[in-house]
Chains A and B, each alone.
Chain A
């Protein structure tokens, strides 16, 4: 009745990893409309108000959409990456314990964390790629918008989504379910307002203290990176500096997040 020898046949960890990724894709596909609504509603509303209504009323300059579009794309990408990892994780570690089936699968636990971050990165990319054309539709023609550097656009999106997904791992492991509201008001909120999303970083020249203080905010680099690649005519940071900053933050968040994850995976 018991074969009992399956434990001895080779089982590549990549098989297990991709099985878990398929699981996340299955769940995400089922929730796609809710996912897009949840993660892109806010950015879309922002664009309707600041990118369509205000310019039409003449209250902001016409060219402002070229600053706003990259900011909004970066916001939806960042928000969905960070949320799609952290929110389920808080619940799954906190009370439902659903994650245990994956922690008991024959794969080193750090690869489970890597899988979660990979899935979060894909969802961040998806949200960014969804908002970009929709934003273009809402705001009309955007001066200087070009897709000649599609590869760079995609690279910045990938790096940004990965960074925020790793941040999601850290947040998801470090906070407990009662603190979710607090996380939004104390971390995500300020991050959005001081993320150079509505204005280019160069604009902060007038407030030097702020200009250097916001450099701890990862959203700054994604927003500036999107400007550097999507609307290079708008003032922006140097793309190499942006890439290095994002890479550094990615590694930092991954390292901290993995530590927090392992602490909860194995007590």
Chain B
């Protein structure tokens, strides 16, 4: 299958907010941008939002970018949608270079932003019709598609409403309708279900499944594990601008270390307790976490008595125990040392 999206060693360095005031981040003003400097280690006061990201996304794939806040998901979408200039590295969408062939890229993509940004000067249907005009569609074609999409997304009765009068979920659906109006090959959605109530979220999932079934390439960022798991063909787990794992959800689950994650909240010297716990057979790995330990067990909850015993032997006391089944969540925690949400 051909690569619909490719990134090579993508880096994006932002100046931290405190320095930003003093020196603006970009000096060039030409639309194609100047050539960017070769990658260099981040200086203090710089944030590497993307730090050497390599991705390949296939045509027709539903691809998920999973990572905690600040992982670089929005920046990745920004680069791929021509809104962010990479500091170094390259990215291609539908065979076009995002840095040098922006117009060609823009024609081939639809973008649903992290926060709805409808044109408030226009009503609902006008938002779609003018978008169609920007993409060279005739009024008749735009109108036909717009009505079809509004029907499909159940906001046809709001066609002449002001956009402010729509609920959050309705605005989100309007944004998806707008992104689809010019029938792009690739659709980008940045955390599309944040802020939606559970019902609206499920409705959105249904819409996304239909788009996927139509054969579109979909790139979605999320920090909801379940969402990534349910919808995506393949998932990239990213943190601090780096790719930590990339595979199908089911194969990623197999990569989760141990079979069960046991979180112990303890009082006392964590390091000593960890050392003793590591000696137990059936324990794959023990990480020290804030105020406790995190053990990856081969034998499920069976190890709990042995762990408690080891902790107490180190002169500590167990205050709380939490078990999690192996999941994307446990894989994520083992890769990043942090929880997602």
Contacts and interface: CB of A to CB of B under 8 A. Distances in A.
A263 to B, nearest CB: 6
B135 A106 contact: yes
Given A19-B130, A101-B134, A259 B29 contact: yes
A23 B130 contact: yes
Contact of A266 (B33, B104, B120, B130): B33
Interface string A19-52: 1101100110010000000000000000000000
A187 interface: no
B134 A16 contact: yes
A20 B134 contact: yes
Contacts of B215: 1-2
Interface residues on B, range: 35 or more
Given A2-B216, A104-B82, A258-B29, A7 B107 contact: yes
B118 interface: yes
A204 B107 CA distance: 56
Interface string A95-111: 01110111111111110
Pick from A19, A110, A259 the residue with the most CB of B within 10 Å: A19
A35 to B, nearest CB: 12
Contacts of B121: 23, 26-27, 30, 88, 98
A15 B109 CA distance: 19
A13 to B, nearest CB: 8
Contacts of A1: 214-215
Contacts of A11: 107, 135-136
Given A20-B134, A267-B84, A98 B106 contact: no
A108 B103 contact: yes
Contacts of B183: 2-4, 6
Contacts of B214: 1-2
B117 interface: yes
A209 to B, nearest CB: 34
B26 A267 contact: yes
Contact of B117 (A4, A101, A110): A101
Contacts of A267: 25-26, 78, 83-85
Interface string B74-114: 00001001111100000000100000001110111101010
Contacts of B108: 7
B294 interface: no
B182 interface: yes
A13 B136 CA distance: 9
B81 A104 contact: yes
Interface in A224-267: 258-259, 262-263, 265-267
B119 A266 contact: no
B29 A16 contact: no
A6 B182 contact: yes
Nearest to B121: A27
B30 interface: yes
A104 B179 CA distance: 10
Contact of B111 (A19, A104, A106, A262): A104
B107 A108 contact: no
B82 A19 contact: no
Nearest to A258: B29
B160 interface: no
Contact of A15 (B33, B103, B117, B136): B136
A7 B31 contact: no
Given A98-B119, A104-B82, 7 more contacts: A2-B183, A9-B136, A11-B135, A97-B113, A106-B103, A108-B31, A108-B103
Q: Which 10 A-B pairs have the closest CB atoms?
A: A19-B133, A259-B29, A27-B121, A105-B134, A97-B117, A11-B136, A106-B107, A7-B108, A1-B214, A7-B107
Interface of A: 1-4, 6-7, 9, 11, 13, 15-16, 19-20, 22-23, 26-27, 30, 88, 96-98, 100-110, 258-259, 262-263, 265-267
